Amino acid sequence: MPPTLASLVHHSSLKLTVLAGRERLDTPVRWAHVSELADPVPWMEGGELLLITAMKIDAADPDTVRPYVRRLVRAGVVGLGFAVGVNYEQVPDALVEAAEEAALPLLEVPRRTPFIAISKAVSAAIAAEQYRAVTAGFAAQRELTRAALGPDGPAGLLARLAAYLDGWAALYDASGAVVAAAPDWAARRAARFGPDVERLRGRPAPASAVVAPEEGDDRVELQSLGTGRRARGVLAVGTGAPLGTPERYAVHSAVALLTLATERSRALQAAEQRLGAAVLRMLLSGEAEHARTVAGELYGTLLDRPFRVLVAEPVPAEGSDASAGDPLAALADAADAAASRAAEPVLAVPEGGRLVLLAPDGGAAVGACADAVRAEGAGVALGLSAPALPGGTAAALRQAEQALSVARRRGRPLVEHEDVAAGSVLPLLGDEAVRAFADGLLRALRAHDATGRGDLVASLRAWLSRHGQWDAAAADLGVHRHTLRYRMRRVEEILGRSLDDPDVRMELWLALKASPGAGE
């Protein structure tokens, strides 16, 4: 406990007597200060016991001491010590009445007690309190370290911290999800602070925030974890009162230990990524069995069942925050966090400005990635392959890349290979380069038709739609088949290409579908 006025009054060698403000003796004393100024307030910080002999004020004049005492109270002075036997043989009644009226503790200091003795007593008590706080903090640090190194890891640390604070503690992962809490009921309470955690995660680590408590609620303090630009996690503690010095030491120790754990996990994750890259290269080279051997237990179960290949690339997104960090790293964090919670393996490989992931089909990581890229301002496009086995990894990667290409062209955050395979190819023709090619290919035919010398474009469309059947196409156009044959020869002459070539027919059909005049 810090020194209080009561502890000074009970100090046997000081012989202090309480004359006023007895009900305020439990107030802590930050320092003891001597000042004979008529107005010492400009030199006060609050929390002081002011010691005077009244050399510069008329302590017996009510009109003088009342405003004097009121100024001291407004400045946060917690007590007034008046030395008798110097300028006054006893404390003047006017000062006693003014102090009682303002509820300011007034202590009589006997002549044989020098002010320096009171200052030393306060200083010694403060030093002792600081020593106790540091000692308690070191003890808490030892206990928390022992818990962190125990079999329960971070969960054990949180349990020890919550007990020490007589409150609760929770740990959020890099995606902002609660991964551990103590006591058990604290997980539900910690989930309420998701938006506050998200705001803190957007600030460079280390960072902290205090959530203003509503009436009857705990005081909640958030501390980010990690040493990089983006927080790797957040620690939350809830207590009934502001943290004292020992509790503050304990929280800082917990932050350091959890940061060390997250940074260690980060180093392990980097090593896993290097191993994952090697496994991916083997799978793409058709060396599935070698990949299983290298993966061992780390990724082994991933290769024992169908998985999906996901390919993600950053894209400018309306409402995205450039200061929020690497969107691919955030996506990888979301996948890793979801996989950890579901106890499923996931392989993530950053590769040339994009992210390649292998994750179990139907698993939590695939769902988390889909949710993450659909979030407003995510700034990521994602292509998702069909389910595959190790021998089909190369084909699955191509599927994911094709789906990603479609997602980027359509401005969509996510496209699955099944959507591309099951749909029409026509939406893929919306690319400007394709339309420009189509317009160039058909320009000469449209120029011919514009002179009024025939309807070559419409005739070509009818003939191609009837797979080259002359009678059916001529009937659709309402012309004789010989007329249609003549028009198709003119098409070949103008384009300089043979309609007997299936590639030419295919290009012309797609051009008719893709060009701005496709609906004519």
Confidence of residue 431 (pLDDT cuts 50, 70, 90): low
204-217 pLDDT, tens digit each: 777 888 887 665 67
Of residues 246 and 505, more confidently modeled: 505
Task: State the average pLDDT over residues 434-446.
Answer: 82
Q: Pick from 37, 49, 40, 38: which is nearest to 7 by CA?
A: 49
Percentage of the chain with pLDDT > 70?
Answer: 90
The CATH number for 428-514, chosen from 3.20.20.80, 1.10.760.10, 1.10.10.2840, 3.40.50.720, is 1.10.10.2840
Amino acid at 479: V
User: Residue 312 pairs with which residues in a beta bridge?
Assistant: 355, 382
Predicted confidence at residue 422, as pLDDT, reads: 56
Predicted confidence at residue 518, as pLDDT, reads: 44
Predicted confidence at residue 265, as pLDDT, reads: 57
Confidence of residue 519 (pLDDT cuts 50, 70, 90): very low
Phi-psi category of residue 177: left, alpha or beta, with phi > 0 → left and psi -120 to 50 → alpha: beta
Of residues 173 and 397, more confidently modeled: 397
Predicted confidence at residue 228, as pLDDT, reads: 63
Predicted confidence at residue 80, as pLDDT, reads: 94
pLDDT at 455 over 80: yes
Predicted confidence at residue 322, as pLDDT, reads: 44
Predicted confidence at residue 120, as pLDDT, reads: 93
Give the integer Cα–Cα distance in Å for 335 and 272: 14
pLDDT at 197 over 70: yes
Residue 299's Cα: distance from chain center in Å? 27
Model-wide pTM > 0.85:
no
Highest averaged pLDDT of the listed ranges 245-249, 328-332, 339-343, 395-399: 395-399
* E strand intervals along 240-391: 307-314, 347-351, 354-360, 380-384
Task: State the average pLDDT over residues 493-520.
Answer: 80
Predicted confidence at residue 317, as pLDDT, reads: 56
Top-level class of domain 5-113: alpha beta
Give the integer Cα–Cα distance in Å for 241 and 165: 10
Give the integer Cα–Cα distance in Å for 147 and 55: 59
DSSP labels, 300-339: GGGGGS-EEEEEEEE---TT--GGG--HHHHHHHHHHHHH
Fold classification of 148-264 is Beta-Lactamase (3.30.450)
Predicted confidence at residue 276, as pLDDT, reads: 81
Residue with tokens 């996989």: 339
Spell out the domain ranges in the chain. 5-113, 148-264, 298-423, 428-514
pLDDT at 516 over 70: no
275-331 pLDDT, tens digit each: 888 888 888 888 888 888 887 777 768 888 899 999 999 987 555 444 446 788 888
Domain 298-423 has CATH 3.30.70.2730: yes
Of residues 182 and 519, more confidently modeled: 182
- Of all helices (H) and strands (E), which one includes residue 279? helix 245-284
pLDDT at 423 over 60: no
Number of other CB atoms surrounding residue 47 within 10 Å: 17
Q: Pick from 273, 232, 271: which is nearest to 255 by CA?
A: 232
CA atoms within 13 A on the CB side of 176: 17
pLDDT at 229 over 70: no
Q: What is the mean pLDDT of the chain?
A: 85
Predicted confidence at residue 520, as pLDDT, reads: 46
Task: State the average pLDDT over residues 86-91.
Answer: 92
